[in-house]
């Protein structure tokens, strides 16, 4: 057994039971974005959250312990993603990455946006030309230090 086995079990139960990530997140008490990342093996749950996840998805005690192990982060199987939706994110970063970098540096200085002190919100926004996917990424600015 490993973390990937637990992730597969979670996804299988989600599909078979018709569970939504939003409903899981409400029971855990965190955002749907963070809880989904955790269920997909990219975040670490504490014991309390692992027990809640375990109850929802029918995980045994050992599987719940795997939810509490710090994962190897990065879930894409190839350097250039082939899934169309994930590829579009890759394309966005390829096309707009230098623009994002330039504008962050102009506004904040030399540093990075944290992916650790970070939050994400994904909402559907109605639009007469077709609903929009509204993604807000919010990370703490971490300046490079001089030494």
Residues 6+ apart with CB under 8 A from 123: 134
8, 75, 88, 119: the catalytic one is 88
Closest CA to 109 of 147, 144, 146, 139: 144
Active site residue 119: no
91 part of the active site: yes
What gap in Å lies between CA 77 and CA 75, rounded to an integer?
6
Distance (Å, whole) CA 37 – CA 14: 14
Residue 138 φ/ψ, nearest 5 degrees: -135, 110
Q: Are residues 143 and 128 in contact, defined by beta-carbon separation less than 8 angstroms? A: no
Name the catalytic one among 8, 22, 47, 91: 91
The active-site residue, picked from 23, 75, 114, 138, is 114
The residues that are catalytic are 88, 91, 114
């Amino acid at each position: 057994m490993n973390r990937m086995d637990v992730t597969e079990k979670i996804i299988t139960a989600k599909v078979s039971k018709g569970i939504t990530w939003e409903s899981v997140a409400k029971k855990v008490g965190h955002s749907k974005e963070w809880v989904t990342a955790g269920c997909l093996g990219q975040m670490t749950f504490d014991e309390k959250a692992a027990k809640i996840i375990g109850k929802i998805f029918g995980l045994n005690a050992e599987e719940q312990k795997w939810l509490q192990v710090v994962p190897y982060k990065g879930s894409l199987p190839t350097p250039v993603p082939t899934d169309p939706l994930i590829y579009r994110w890759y394309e966005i970063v390829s096309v707009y990455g230098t623009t994002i970098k330039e504008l962050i540096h102009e506004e904040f200085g030399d540093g990075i946006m944290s992916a650790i002190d970070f939050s994400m919100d994904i909402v559907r926004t109605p639009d007469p030309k077709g609903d929009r996917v509204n993604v807000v990424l919010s990370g703490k600015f971490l300046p490079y230090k001089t030494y």
